[in-house]
Amino acid sequence: MSAEPPQQPVEAPLLRVTDLVREYTLPREHLFRPPAKVQALNGVSFTMPAGKSLGIVGESGSGKSTLARLVMALDTPTAGSVELLGRNLHALPAAELRAARRDFQMVFQDPYGSLDPRQTVERIVTEPLQAQGGSTRADQHARAAEVLAQVGLRPQDLGKYPHEFSGGQRQRIAIARALITRPRLIVADEPVSALDVSVQAQVLNLMMDLQAQFGVSYLLISHDLAVVNHLCDEVVVLYQGRIVERGAPAELFAHAQHPYTRSLVNAVPQVQPGRARARRQAALAAKAPSMPEGASSAGPAMV
């Protein structure tokens, strides 16, 4: 009897979110009644492999940004856990959590509000390295110049201030700040929603190029299905703090099973120039004055 081939070990996921719950206490409305609570997340669970991108979509108030803050350990869950590379982030001591942040960084929504206007680009980009410690000023300068070039900006821009850049360039600076620690995971909360459509495509293509070059994984929080379809390998639909559907974007958006997912897809405006032209022609025909029976539309006959 031939020996069975050895089984390949199953690779652990980069990110594992298990039964995540987050409740918020509302202001007390009655003196003798306990304050009401709202459940932003209610039992959210998913895994995310390394080198892939996962999109989280849903309407405002569905719990997307709360999930991003919990994954980034910027907020504490009511229940559940967030594990990155096998470490429960919310159970780590403060010093270990600070060291672990080298492996996960965040790109915020607003490129105008997320950059300190009083700091130079070099100071902004090197801030995560300074928080980690253990690197010299010269090392930080060299790394900042390197990542700035990787996002399509010039090393000479290090001495400038945020107001000297456009919105797309500011978001590139924010991405450079996230990249400087060479993280395994970047949480991007609506990273292009504040940008013009043409600039959105540039930033998304940049993120895809950086993923191909460095193998970074993205957890993309967005309400824009087109952005998720462009960047993500999988998408999770969040509704009232629960996951209602998950799958590949093209398949999920084309064959949505849950009514809420179908409503999201149907809410996306569709460009249909043929139908618009037909509506305009019908409207013009309705406004045109009616001609007497037997009259010719070619005008008076030439004599």
Pairwise pLDDT comparison (224 vs 283), residue with the higher score:
224
In a domain, 257, yes or no: yes
In a domain, 237, yes or no: yes
Structural domain span for residue 48: 15-26+33-111+185-268
Q: What is the pLDDT of residue 280?
A: 60
Handedness of CA 107, 113, 114, 118 (dihedral sign): positive
CA 42, 55, 125, 215: dihedral to nearest 10 degrees? 120
- Range 83-97 average pLDDT: 94
CATH number at residue 47: 3.40.50.300
Residue 249 falls inside a structural domain: yes
DSSP assignment, residue 163?
G
pLDDT digits (tens, 9 = 90+) for 222-250: 888 888 988 999 999 999 999 999 999 98
Judged against a pLDDT cut of 80, whether residue 297 lies above it is answered with no
- Answer for the pair 78, 23: CB distance below 8 angstroms, yes or no: yes
Closest C-alpha among 222, 181, 223, 231 to residue 202:
231
Identify the pLDDT of residue 1.
42
Q: What local confidence, expressed as pLDDT, does residue 139 receive?
A: 93
Domain annotation covers residue 137: no
pLDDT at 45 over 50: yes
Cα dist from 278 to 274, 285, 290, whole Å: 6, 11, 20
User: Average pLDDT of the chain?
Assistant: 85
On whether residue 156 sits in a domain, the answer given is no
Amino acid 301: pLDDT: 43
Residue 208 included in any domain: yes
Spatial distance between the Cα atoms of 262 and 18, rounded to a whole number of angstroms: 26
pLDDT tens per residue across span 99-152: 999 999 999 888 888 899 999 999 999 999 988 887 899 999 999 999 999 998
**Residue 178 placed within a domain:** no
Domain assignment of residue 126, yes or no: no
pLDDT at 287: 58
Domain count, the chain: 1
